[in-house]
Amino acid sequence: MLGENPMKMSYLVGHGTHYPNYIHHRGSSIPVNATTGCKDGFKWFHSPHPNPNVAFGALVGGPFLNETFNDFRNNSMQAEPTTYNSALFVAILSGLVAASTVPFSF
């Protein structure tokens, strides 16, 4: 998930030097200073340029079974950050924190 894979790609956006640049996320693909309505987003959706806003910490769907990842905005199966993509990751981290012998710092 963080880059230890055949593509050497992190599927956690913003982590490392090689991560998805065309995630399927409206807030990432539309420039901050754009004046737009609900239906105007398609000009950015179809843009060949990487997303102007990096969604740091977003976990995308990841690779297919053959270890390939198509970094395209319209590839919602692999490139969309969703809560169900990150649920298992959050559960594992929660278990590690709960089982830790390190005192809480908060």
pLDDT-based confidence at residue 102 (cuts at 50, 70, 90)? low
Give the pLDDT score at 103: 62
3-state secondary structure of 12: strand
User: How many angstroms separate the CA atoms of 103 and 106, rounded?
Assistant: 9
Alpha helix segments (H runs only) across the chain: 26-29, 42-45, 76-79, 83-99
Give the pLDDT score at 105: 59
The pLDDT of residue 40 is above 70: yes
**CB neighbour list of residue 10: distance below 8 Å, 6 or more residues apart:** 1, 2, 3, 16, 18, 19
pLDDT-based confidence at residue 92 (cuts at 50, 70, 90)? confident
pLDDT digit string (tens) for 62-86? Answer: 788 888 888 888 888 888 888 777 7
The residue extents of the domains of the chain are 1-106
* Residue with the two structure tokens 């089982």: 99
pTM above 0.75, yes or no: no
Catalytic positions:
24, 71, 80
